[in-house]
Amino acid sequence: MTANTPLDGIRVLDLSRFIAGPLCCQILGDMGAEVVKVERPGGEDARKHAPFHRGQSVYTMIYNRNKHGATLDTRHPAARDLLERLVRISDVVVENYRPGTMEKMGLGYERLRELRPDVVLVSISGFGQSGPQSGRALFDAIAQATTGLMSVTGTGEPTLTGTYIADYVAAYHGAMGALLALLHRERTGEGQHVDVASFDALFAALGTRPSAYAMLGETRGRNGSRDLLTAPANVFPAADGFVYVHAGTDPLFPRLCAAMGRPELAADERFRGVPARMAHVEELEKAVTEWTSTRSCEEIAETLTAAGIPFGKVAEIPEVVESPQVAARDMLLDVEHPTLGTLKLPGIPIKLSGSPGAVRKPPPLVGEDNAYVYGELLGLDEAEIERLRTEGAI
């Protein structure tokens, strides 16, 4: 445990797998909580996901640092007692089973409250603990499909984003929900059940589209990389790549025109004001493309920087990883693992000036900390731990 971290003294029992739950717990762990990750003997299914570093899944590495790894077969007769003992010493329990699974295990919220009255249970599921679809399984892509995100992404067919955006957004909401519940507990002494649905979290991130339809009957299809509200704001081709230029506001547009050597465009009636530019966006983007396509990304960057116009080169992953900005912000960390060597893991996005988070422990191997969890935390002796191992319980 690191002193002066926001969650020093808080223990989290992580019963989750894949991304949303594990990342939620990792965020809490980064901020000082002691996290005990419980997975089945042999490891969770996600450990089979590529890519692999020295035989271990990088996929699981980036969601499971700052955790003690313990194994437990939840179907074994001894599992219920072990889980209940872990609940008694935990402040927060995080699970992302399908709704009803914890109840079938005999560990629904009411039972958890009997074990520890002030416990905070964070349940991250696909469609939440209520509603007509609550019993359905959901993966990230299904969330993107069912919330409508795919219908507004891309330019042709409905398109997935390039990352597991629903899982990430659900994880952030889960971590925030846990923190809010802990604050409530500090003030009242009461625990509570935090219900986070991937569907809800992603739906809430759709911007103006749901409200525009609900209030105005307005629908918009796929818009590619073009901004919905202002123009020009889109990806434009350069001579050696692509650049996103955002000069759609009324103060920025004349600056762009001057930078392009086309000051007359700012006075053109077709482009005077945001509504006019949006009505003639195709013509406007053609003019910008004529300028960008004959210049390198570096030339465009120099010109737009001097003009004070927001822009960004469309970077490939290797370029971003090696960028000085990532280095300056510590967003790719060297984490030493005793058997896997140096791991390159994502940094901590939340920068606290007085009580910063830290990576204190590399992601655990399967069952790496069984002796600590069952011995030191639960007080089992070596003979009992060995018996549970021999019986296949852990």
CA atoms within 13 A on the CB side of 216: 8
Which sequence positions are flagged as catalytic? Answer: 167
> What are the CA-CA distances from residue 394 to residues 202, 371, 389 (Å)?
36, 11, 5
Name the 3-class secondary structure at 335: strand
Q: How is residue 91 annotated by DSSP?
A: S
Q: Are 244 and 310 in contact (CB under 8 A)?
A: no
Alpha carbon distance 62, 45 (integer Å)? 15
CA atoms within 13 A on the CB side of 311: 26
- Bridge partners, residue 67, by sequence: 35
> What are the CA-CA distances from residue 238 to residues 76, 82, 197, 243 (Å)?
61, 60, 41, 7
Alpha carbon distance 23, 28 (integer Å)? 9
CA-based torsion, 72, 75, 78, 83: positive or negative: positive
Alpha carbon distance 39, 43 (integer Å)? 6
Query: Residue 103, Cβ neighbours under 10 Å: how many?
Result: 13
